[in-house]
Amino acid sequence: MNGPHDLGGQMGFGPIAPEADEPWFHADWERRALGVTLACGAFGAWTIDESRHARENIPPAAYLAASYYEIWIRALEVLLQRHGFVTADEIAAGKSLSAGAAPKRVLTAEMVAGVLARGGPCDRPLSQVPRFAVGARVRTRNVNPTTHTRLPRYARGKTGIVEAVQGSFVFADDNAHGRGENPQWVYTVVFDGPEIWGEGSDPTLSVSIDAWESYLEPV
């Protein structure tokens, strides 16, 4: 979807100013926000792709005014309500008012290190061969879905070169909406600066994206 999260190439947001020696967390509540989000994700009620889409759906003014972990918590509230773990009244009250849905699993303290070490692999085997080979010229589809997509807005309808075939992975666009994993081949595609940014772009610049096969058409 075209939302406030997709800022690539957008003007007027000021320079990127990395913080020197930036700490992992700027406040204790951020540390807790990360922990609560991971613990709730372990419930097994939603996928990482559904959680991304929940963040994308935060109204633009609220999204752009929020900090990184504020966005996480606001999306988590949506997911917990959607899947029946809490109600809006409970969030407002800050406490449980009735029995909610039971999680499939509960992440305990002694499980955390192992769970984080395993991560959440999303590579899946496919029987069909990749449609595109390294060196192929491809064009990304010019689409503007209202649902989740990992094809960035700035790279739609652009022509580039396949640099690598990365493997086959869960198709996030479907997985975010409960339509199944539907794995596809994923390719690294490289575009030159003028193709992405137009006239006046630095000709030595290149931009790479990882693109699922259904994003691409042959040139």
Hey, where are the domains in the chain? 28-118, 137-218
Please say whether the beta carbons of 133 and 165 come within 8 A.
yes
Distances in Å between the alpha carbon of 113 and those of 69, 72, 98, 107?
A: 21, 21, 32, 11
- Render pLDDT for 71-80 as a digit per residue (tens, 0 to 9): 999 999 999 9
Name the amino acid, one letter, at 200: G
Question: Where are the strands (E) in 16-170, listed by range?
Answer: 137-140, 159-169
pLDDT at 16: 85
Residue 200 confidence (pLDDT) above 90: no
Distances in Å between the alpha carbon of 219 and those of 58, 86, 216?
A: 37, 50, 9
User: Domain 28-118 is classified in which CATH homologous superfamily?
Assistant: Nitrile hydratase, beta subunit (1.10.472.20)
Q: What is the CATH number of domain 137-218?
A: 2.30.30.50
Predicted model pTM: 0.91
